[in-house]
Amino acid sequence: MSYVIDDRQASLFQVNREVFTSREIFEKERELVFGPAWLYAGHESELPRRNDFRTRDVGGRSVIFNRDRHGDVRVLLNTCRHRGASLCRHPAGNAKIFTCFYHGWAYRNSGELVNVPAAEDYARSPVEVYQGLPGPRVESYRGFYFVNFSADPPDLHAWLGTSAYLLDLAADQSEDGIEILPGTHDYTLNANWKLLVENSIDGYHAKSVHHTYFEMMRELGQTPPMLGDAGTNGVPPAGLGTEFGHGHATLMYPGNGLPLATETVTRDLGVLRARAAERFGESYAAAVFDLARNTIFFPNFVLIDLNFGMILRTIMPLGPDRTQVSSWQIAPRGLGQESLRYRIDNALTFWGPAGLATPDDVEALEQAQRGFSARREMPWSDISKGMGKPRPAANDELQMRAWWRQWNAVVTGEERPREVDEFVPFDRPARETQGA
């Protein structure tokens, strides 16, 4: 069966709706998509001290994201060598040793097995036999840590390629970097995970799905972010979609300031922008602060970078029609308390599970999943908007097509060339290292 139609002559791109409902495809994705990919694990700011840890699911596996006693960041599989129970049942904390509550096997936070109760009853000491916990490959870029569970993963920097530019634009918003703010939004939806991937980089749906938010902003005398011109249904046509390698893609569009911001909040952002211009030049400062961006790093890591807040999002399939979402708010270091409160309020009221945007999106995606019950009669979804343009706009669908081409290549082995030339509108500043 063909999953993707990519007809350049007819400017037609379609996805077979079977990929959103099939148990067989879901199992293939777990092996072929999530097995060899670089997956986001966490940010360095979540582990400020030695022995700090966070537990979370990455690629369908429970892991311990931690900074060990030497200060090194590690990702350990959160399962005991003995009988498989979770080593750590706490979401966060500080610990040098992780001890399995089931039978008491204990491991250092660097992974070594160091104690087995009644070890004298074993013919060979489990400490010698098992050594410690196996861990995935761990690499970082600008404080973002990724893991890869394959035996021979590619270099992370090569995998990110030019798309790393989008991480730079976030990390360079303060000379002191960025930090994860306390708290996590975890929620599930009754829809296939790929629908939320599409939606996260979809500039076409904004006005129709989120009209309540836009109407509220107008009534308050504000210019809503992402609001398109009359006659469009999403972000302004002045924006653009960009296709990177390996399925990474973004939409960029002019930022519309800080809705409902106080003078202090506006001033704080202006100070950060001025400092960026001094460090990197006006052109790059404009890219950092004057453009909004929705980016997908294949397969499931999303960075939404707007003036009024930034979020990181991971999207994990639980089944063909069930998805787990985790989201974190990030902010430039050095912001005042009023600016931090402003961003946290936006994270809750706009992106939160009970906010003005997320419930709209969840409803749209769950309605799509219900609609797939008629997939025999209507087997194809259309993602052709803007195809054939020399430079697709942000409210076109180039970025989704880029992601789907990578998905199709991974699942079927059928590779297709990119649709348009890679385009980054501003030069990246020279720096000693991009990886630290």
The tens place of each residue's pLDDT in the chain, 436 residues long, gives 789 999 999 999 999 999 999 999 999 999 999 999 999 999 999 999 999 999 999 999 999 999 999 999 999 999 999 999 999 999 999 999 999 999 999 999 999 999 999 999 999 989 888 888 888 999 999 999 999 999 899 999 999 999 999 999 999 999 999 999 999 999 999 999 999 999 999 988 877 887 777 777 777 776 655 554 444 445 555 688 999 999 999 999 887 678 888 999 999 999 999 999 999 999 999 999 998 999 999 999 999 998 889 999 999 999 999 999 999 999 999 999 999 999 999 889 888 888 888 989 999 999 999 999 999 999 999 999 999 998 898 889 999 999 999 999 999 999 999 998 776 666 667 654 444 4
Residue 246, domain CATH: 3.90.380.10
Q: Which two tokens stand for residue 314?
A: 């991971």
| Residue 188 and residue 76 share a domain | no
Q: At what angle do helices 398-412 and 193-200 cross, to 10 degrees?
A: 150
| Residue 219 and residue 109 share a domain | no
| Residue 46 and residue 126 share a domain | yes
432 part of a folded domain: no
Nearest Cα neighbor of 197 from 20, 24, 356 is: 20
Cα–Cα distance measured from residue 259 to residue 165, given in angstroms and rounded to the nearest whole number? 26
| Residue 159 and residue 125 share a domain | no
| Residue 196 and residue 124 share a domain | no
* Cβ neighbours, 10 Å, residue 146: 24
| Residue 375 and residue 310 share a domain | yes
53 part of a folded domain: yes
| Residue 117 and residue 48 share a domain | yes
Specify the amino acid at residue 368. Answer: A
6 part of a folded domain: no
pLDDT of the residue at 426? 64
329 part of a folded domain: yes
Residue 89, domain CATH: 2.102.10.10
429 part of a folded domain: no
- Domain count along the chain: 2
Cα–Cα distance measured from residue 372 to residue 368, given in angstroms and rounded to the nearest whole number? 6
Domain end residue (candidates: 112, 137, 162): 137
Domain end residue (candidates: 137, 171, 186): 137
Q: Which domain holds residue 276?
A: 154-412
| Residue 221 and residue 104 share a domain | no
Domain end residue (candidates: 92, 111, 137): 137
| Residue 376 and residue 257 share a domain | yes
| Residue 239 and residue 124 share a domain | no
143 part of a folded domain: no
Long-range contacts of residues 313-318, Cβ cutoff 8 Å, at least 24 apart: 313/200, 314/39, 314/40, 314/58, 315/193, 315/196, 315/197, 315/200, 316/57, 316/59, 316/60, 316/193, 317/26, 317/29, 317/30, 317/60, 317/192, 317/193, 318/188
Task: Decide if 179 contacts 330 (C-beta within 8 A).
Answer: yes
How far is residue 118 from each of residues 86, 92, 122, measured CA to CA in Å?
20, 30, 8
Task: Decide if 25 contacts 37 (C-beta within 8 A).
Answer: no
pLDDT of the residue at 229? 46
pLDDT of the residue at 231? 40
Q: How far is CA 181 from the centre of its chain?
A: 16
CA angle 308, 141, 249 (to 5 degrees): 60
24 part of a folded domain: no
26 part of a folded domain: no
Q: Which two tokens stand for residue 74?
A: 């590690």
| Residue 201 and residue 73 share a domain | no
| Residue 273 and residue 370 share a domain | yes
